[in-house]
Amino acid sequence: MPLINEEFNFTREQQELVSQKLADDSFLHTDWGNDDLQDVRSSLRRFYRSKQIGKCAFCFNEVSFVSAANAQVEHIAPKSLHRQFIFEPKNLCVICADCNTIKRDQEVLNEMPETINNPNARVRYPRASSAFKIVHPHFDNYQTHIIKRGKVYVDRTPKGQFTISACKLNRFFHQFGFEEDFVDDEILIVLMTSFIASGTTHERKIVLDALKDLMILM
């Protein structure tokens, strides 16, 4: 199931402001942070922070329920590349401070990765997972594409690989290195014991899936 299953609806006043901004040729993606859009950003942050159950859309770590700094409104199709989708609810989510800093630095350096397939052919915002290179919180099941175990991320699909690379999700290990004993032997022992003791096919499947994930990390 996708992380976000409900679409944000602007108030009448907000929609009027959004329409005004989009009709103004002088409105740039860099104006997203302007003061007159503060109410819009705050409403979006509250909505997605709740719908995402406090999880960052990209790294699945926690976002803040109080501080705006660790719950930034993010444009899945980059606003610097797709001005027309700046206010598209399906293009919005919240991300943590670390993911936001990485994405912001990419934008400043003009190195923002394109997340849409065949972007020049898109007049309207895509409504299918297949239209995106990145794991999309409105359309994709995160676990289908990415295995997350603690601080490590392993791709299951090309889309997972793109997301891990674009958002630098394994940044902890890039900074501090990878411990050879990252997979704890005690975890393996517990899982094997659980498998032996499991009484149903469903229970065995749960344990086997967990073991498969661990084997990928070894």
Tell me which residue has tokens 């709740």: 50
Q: What is the pLDDT of residues 97-150, one digit of tens each?
A: 999 999 888 877 778 889 999 888 788 999 999 999 999 999 999 999 998 887
**59 in a domain, yes or no?**
yes
Whether residue 84 is predicted with pLDDT greater than 90 in this model: the reply is yes
Domain boundary, last residue among 130, 145, 160 = 130
Domain boundary, last residue among 110, 130, 150 = 130
Clarify whether residues 114 and 213 are in a common domain.
Answer: no
**141 in a domain, yes or no?**
no
Tell me which residue has tokens 């967990």: 210
* Contact partners, residue 212, CB within 8 Å, separation at least 6: none
CA distances from 126 to 12, 57, 86, 179 (A): 24, 18, 14, 41
**161 in a domain, yes or no?**
no
Whether residue 17 is predicted with pLDDT greater than 90 in this model: the reply is yes
pTM attached to this predicted model = 0.81
Q: Given this model, what pLDDT does residue 107 score?
A: 79
Clarify whether residues 115 and 199 are in a common domain.
Answer: no
Clarify whether residues 126 and 184 are in a common domain.
Answer: no
* Three-state DSSP state, 205: helix
Q: Given this model, what pLDDT does residue 59 score?
A: 96
Clarify whether residues 111 and 189 are in a common domain.
Answer: no
Domain boundary, last residue among 72, 104, 130 = 130
**192 in a domain, yes or no?**
yes
**172 in a domain, yes or no?**
no
Q: Given this model, what pLDDT does residue 173 score?
A: 74
| d(C-alpha 105, C-alpha 94), whole Å | 17
Clarify whether residues 23 and 83 are in a common domain.
Answer: yes
> Containing domain of residue 205, as a range?
180-217
Whether residue 177 is predicted with pLDDT greater than 70 in this model: the reply is no
Q: Given this model, what pLDDT does residue 151 score?
A: 81
**Structural domains in the chain (count):** 2
Clarify whether residues 24 and 115 are in a common domain.
Answer: yes
Whether residue 212 is predicted with pLDDT greater than 80 in this model: the reply is no
**100 in a domain, yes or no?**
yes
For 178, how many CA atoms within 13 A lie in the half-sphere containing its CB? Answer: 9
Clarify whether residues 99 and 185 are in a common domain.
Answer: no
Clarify whether residues 120 and 196 are in a common domain.
Answer: no
Clarify whether residues 184 and 126 are in a common domain.
Answer: no
**152 in a domain, yes or no?**
no
**50 in a domain, yes or no?**
yes
Query: What percent of the chain clears pLDDT 70, i.e. is strictly above it?
Result: 81
